[in-house]
Amino acid sequence: MRWKTICFDLDNTLHSHDTAFIRTVRMLFDKKLHEWRNKGLNVSHIKLDSVVGTFKYFSDELWDKKESGEWSRETYRRERYKQTMETYELPNDLHSADRFHEEYEKNVPFYGVPYEGLYEGLEQLEKHGFQLGIITNGRSTTQLKKFEALNLSSYISQKSLFISGEMGTAKPERTIFQQVAEHLRVEANEALFVGDAWELDIVGAIEAGWDALYLNTSAQLPTTEHQPVGQASSFKEAIELIVTLDSKAR
Ligand SMILES: [Mg+2]
């Protein structure tokens, strides 16, 4: 067998984070429109889809400020809320922005939709005898809730779920891959990592001596010369590729 262990990233690798985001935000603004209407505000001209679209627009538009470190996560969240409210001349204050995001955080784990073929694919790999795991960056409670809500525990042991928030190291650092390999009792060259974020997942894994498979669900071009073992555009395709590559090595 070419690999003993296969680990996956979670968001946008096993489910669409973008879908979870839109579904959660839609539910929250639906509630808000009711609230505003009940308070006597005239919101009849505001369509739910367009306010969700505007919020998504500012989330993407302002993302660079957060990524570059210019803004904190809190400032980023308050700004995307404020600019959405201003677009529709709706009431805006920091308290509402913070409450909106608290609700978002609480709900988003439950709005994920597994990628097509997720469970069949994991089952297939398990039958092939691979040890399976997940390495995800994020907060411990949020990522654990997603893991449970997506019913992943039926396929991957919770002991093999590694969350940066509780490990003190995060992708793309080499140490997180090393720690996981140690926990799973596997050598780096017997392990494959599957992920959608080039710099975090692919570069991180390869630098740690793992093989990597690029699941390009975010239509992001490689930014370095690192060589994954393959590239797939869907989860199903990734599984087929793993099985093919592995059978060639048997
Ligand atoms: Mg991801």
Q: How many of the other CB atoms lie within 10 Å of CB of 141?
A: 14
220 or 107, greater pLDDT: 107
Q: How far apart are CA 73 and CA 232, in angstroms?
A: 31
Per-residue pLDDT reduced to its tens digit, 38-63: 999 999 999 999 999 999 999 999 99
Ligand 1 centroid, distance to 148 Cα (angstroms): 17
For residue 1, is pLDDT > 80?
Answer: no
Distance from chain centroid for Cα 138: 9
Residue whose structure tokens are 């070419």: 2
Average pLDDT estimate for 13-23: 95
For residue 250, is pLDDT > 80?
Answer: no
Q: What are the tokens at 121?
A: 């694919």
Ligand 1 centroid, distance to 14 Cα (angstroms): 9
Contact between 235 and 116 (Cβ < 8 Å): yes
Q: Residue 17: which residues within 8 A CB-CB, separation 6 or more?
A: 11, 112
Ligand 1 centroid, distance to 194 Cα (angstroms): 10
Q: What are the tokens at 208?
A: 């740690």
Ligand 1 centroid, distance to 10 Cα (angstroms): 6
Phi, psi (rounded to 5 degrees) for 195: -155, 165
Per-residue pLDDT reduced to its tens digit, 193-242: 999 999 999 999 999 999 999 999 878 889 999 999 999 999 999 999 99
> In 3-state terms, the chain is what percent helix, strand and coil (to 5)?
55, 10, 30
Ligand 1 centroid, distance to 37 Cα (angstroms): 37
Contact between 108 and 15 (Cβ < 8 Å): no
Domains, the chain, ranges and CATH?
Answer: 5-16+114-249 (3.40.50.1000), 17-111 (1.10.150.240)
Ligand 1 centroid, distance to 184 Cα (angstroms): 21
Query: HSE of 155 in the Cβ direction (CA atoms, 13 Å)?
Result: 24
Per-residue pLDDT reduced to its tens digit, 125-179: 999 999 999 999 999 999 999 999 999 999 999 999 999 999 999 999 999 999 9
